A and B are shown apart, each in its own frame.
Chain A
Amino acid sequence: MTTTEIQNSIIEEFNMFDEWLDKYEYIIELGGELSDYDDKDKTKSNLISGCQSRVWLNAEFVDNKVMFNADSDAIITKGIIALLIRIMNNRTPEEILETDLFFLEKIGLKENLSPTRANGLVSMIKQMKTYGLAYKALRDSKK
């Protein structure tokens, strides 16, 4: 599936909920299911700091695909991370750079992305794109 297709299916999933709290119940569930993040990767260099919640992100480059791993100390942030990873993980640098993340607005969670929320998510998305750019440059330099 393309990143657009995944985003569309996420939007469909969220359309099932009428109540705000149900949406958040679901996000909390997703946060709980996010695969374990190694404590040794909770380093300062992987930390994306916000004044509300903290986010850790690291990446690997395997067979022209970027593999992301991320965590947060807040479950709601973690739930949104799970959605971002579902879209952005295991993608080529080009796919990562080209992806326009429209789903958060469509499912009514854009407030989680406002820079003043300072929950680390805005910086996390920027960081994902930076990884895409860096791995692209690394790959091209080896050609």
Chain B
Amino acid sequence: MLDINKIRNDFPILNQKVYGKQLIYLDNGATTQKPNQVIDYVSEFYSTINSNIHRGVHSLSGKSTEEYENARLTIKDYINANSEKEIIFTKGTTEAINLVASSFGEEYINEGDEILVSQTEHHSNIVPWQMLCKRKKAILKVVPVNNNTEIVIEEFKKLLSNKTKLIAISQVSNAFGTIMPINNIIQKAHKVGAYVLVDGAQGVQHFKTDVQYLDCDFYTFSGHKIYAETGIGVLYGKEELLNKMPPYQGGGDMIKTVSFEKTEYADLPLKFEAGTSNYVGAASIAKAIDYINSIGLDNIYEYENDLVNYARKELTKIKGLKIIGSPTNNTSSISFLLNGIHHYDAGMILDKLGIAVRTGTHCAEPAMKRFDITGTIRASFSFYNTKQEVDELCKGILRVKKMFD
């Protein structure tokens, strides 16, 4: 059992009114709020130890570097990577995917090779691969989903061949909350010699992820979606692959020696961290993970699962409300439509009732096209949300319906 009152008190932003109504924040898929443990830490960092990492001989630089490198260790443990060399700090999931598309793509993708993505991917897990395919004359293929937003494994098997070099797939769909069968996909991919990148942006904060158990080749996530700062993210890659990949960007920190004749690159993980990285952001991820661990990820999963099931059940009771897809395995997000009411209209009115949801295409236009819709209303949950808030959402939706009838 979670002590929900205590948890909510940890998130100061939740305790406020918008348009005179108590805020109900159900846009956690876009970004999560930050607990005091993270906010205070960031403030403390700048107040007491801020200094550029990996450079100075002075005391503060040493402390700063220590926080940064300790964060790498915390993240390594959190996703159970084999070594901290496999944890690369990036600006976020998008940059992590672009890094792989650029560096892995350079080394491993050739003309005629095939890359598979699912039909419900976020644009950030489509566009970098399109760009790579264009550059390398490779072919992007799309794995379809069924009416329940689930990957059609039979179709995936048909698309998979020895031409397939990479499969890029989300762990959890951001638009629909569907948990993808990545275990199965990774096993099948490896049998034909293909690599797998898992976009964990919507998964890593909700349930236990073990990259060694999954055996995925790359795994990405963003700090701001896991209760840490924005502008920081993580790329996990198998050491052997990362070693073979050329650097992504050139600059300071990623080099061993530089001369105009020849530059020697730094070893992992710094080889992929050119320039001063967002070291405070990186350290804030470790604090967020500490916070999650203090509650227990299994407890979080159990609580959120119960909450989302309750929300699905209650939303289904509303006449004229249609949930897009009822995947067997789902978490955190529910996408729905109201009969005859535009999602934008619904979102605007819910906002005036203090309820923050997201509307539109959720950066997944092909996914919307699959269901022949222009967008949805998405409520996405975190462990600081409550069943009372779900009830308020339902009441808000009834109010919206009344206004547009």
| Chain A contact residues, CB within 8 Å of chain B | 20-21, 24-25, 28, 51-54, 73-77, 118-119
Query: Given A20-B19, A52-B359, are A77 and B352 also a contact pair (CB < 8 Å)?
Result: no
Contacts of A118 in B (CB 8 A): 360
Known: A52-B343, A53-B344. 5 other contacts (CB 8 A): A20-B19, A51-B360, A73-B374, A74-B345, A119-B344
Check B374 against A25 for contact (C-beta < 8 Å).
Answer: no
Chain A's closest residue to B21 (CB) is A20
Check B361 against A75 for contact (C-beta < 8 Å).
Answer: no
| Chain B contact residues, CB within 8 Å of chain A | 19-20, 342-345, 347-349, 352-353, 359-361, 374-375, 403-404
Query: Given A51-B361, A52-B375, A54-B374, are A24 and B349 also a contact pair (CB < 8 Å)?
Result: yes
Give Cα distance in the complex from A51 to B358, angstroms: 12
With both chains docked as a complex, state the minimum distance between the C-beta of A143 and any C-beta of chain B, in angstroms: 44
Give Cα distance in the complex from A51 to B347, angstroms: 13
Check A51 against B403 for contact (C-beta < 8 Å).
Answer: no
Chain B's closest residue to A32 (CB) is B404
Give Cα distance in the complex from A53 to B377, angstroms: 13
Query: Given A28-B403, A54-B374, are A75 and B349 also a contact pair (CB < 8 Å)?
Result: no
With both chains docked as a complex, state the minimum distance between the C-beta of A17 and any C-beta of chain B, in angstroms: 12
Check B344 against A76 for contact (C-beta < 8 Å).
Answer: yes
Chain A's closest residue to B362 (CB) is A51
Query: Given A24-B403, A52-B359, are A76 and B345 also a contact pair (CB < 8 Å)?
Result: yes
Check A52 against B360 for contact (C-beta < 8 Å).
Answer: yes
Check B375 against A75 for contact (C-beta < 8 Å).
Answer: no
Chain B's closest residue to A21 (CB) is B352
**Which listed residue (B344, B353, B375, B404) contacts A28, Cβ 8 A?**
B404
Contacts of B353 in A (CB 8 A): 21
Chain B's closest residue to A23 (CB) is B352
Contacts of B345 in A (CB 8 A): 28, 74-76
Contacts of B343 in A (CB 8 A): 52
Contacts of A73 in B (CB 8 A): 342, 374
Give Cα distance in the complex from A36 to B360, angstroms: 25
Give Cα distance in the complex from A118 to B348, angstroms: 13
Check B404 against A75 for contact (C-beta < 8 Å).
Answer: yes
Give Cα distance in the complex from A124 to B279, angstroms: 42
Contacts of A77 in B (CB 8 A): 344
Contacts of A53 in B (CB 8 A): 342, 344
With both chains docked as a complex, state the minimum distance between the C-beta of B96 and any C-beta of chain A, in angstroms: 24
With both chains docked as a complex, state the minimum distance between the C-beta of B143 and any C-beta of chain A, in angstroms: 24
Check B348 against A24 for contact (C-beta < 8 Å).
Answer: yes
- In the complex, the 3 A-B pairs of residues with the closest C-beta atoms, listed nearest first: A74-B342, A74-B344, A53-B344
Chain B's closest residue to A25 (CB) is B403
**Which listed residue (B19, B344, B403, B404) contacts A52, Cβ 8 A?**
B344
Contacts of A20 in B (CB 8 A): 19-20, 352
Query: Given A74-B342, A75-B345, are A24 and B352 also a contact pair (CB < 8 Å)?
Result: yes
Give Cα distance in the complex from A77 to B19, angstroms: 20
Contacts of B359 in A (CB 8 A): 52
Contacts of A28 in B (CB 8 A): 345, 403-404
Give Cα distance in the complex from A38 to B149, angstroms: 35
Give Cα distance in the complex from A25 to B353, angstroms: 13
With both chains docked as a complex, state the minimum distance between the C-beta of A117 and any C-beta of chain B, in angstroms: 9
Check B361 against A76 for contact (C-beta < 8 Å).
Answer: no
Contacts of A75 in B (CB 8 A): 342, 345, 404
Contacts of A74 in B (CB 8 A): 342, 344-345
Give Cα distance in the complex from A77 to B359, angstroms: 14
Check A51 against B375 for contact (C-beta < 8 Å).
Answer: yes
Give Cα distance in the complex from A132 to B94, angstroms: 41
- Which of B19, B348, B375: most chain A CB closer than 10 A? B348
Give Cα distance in the complex from A35 to B345, angstroms: 19
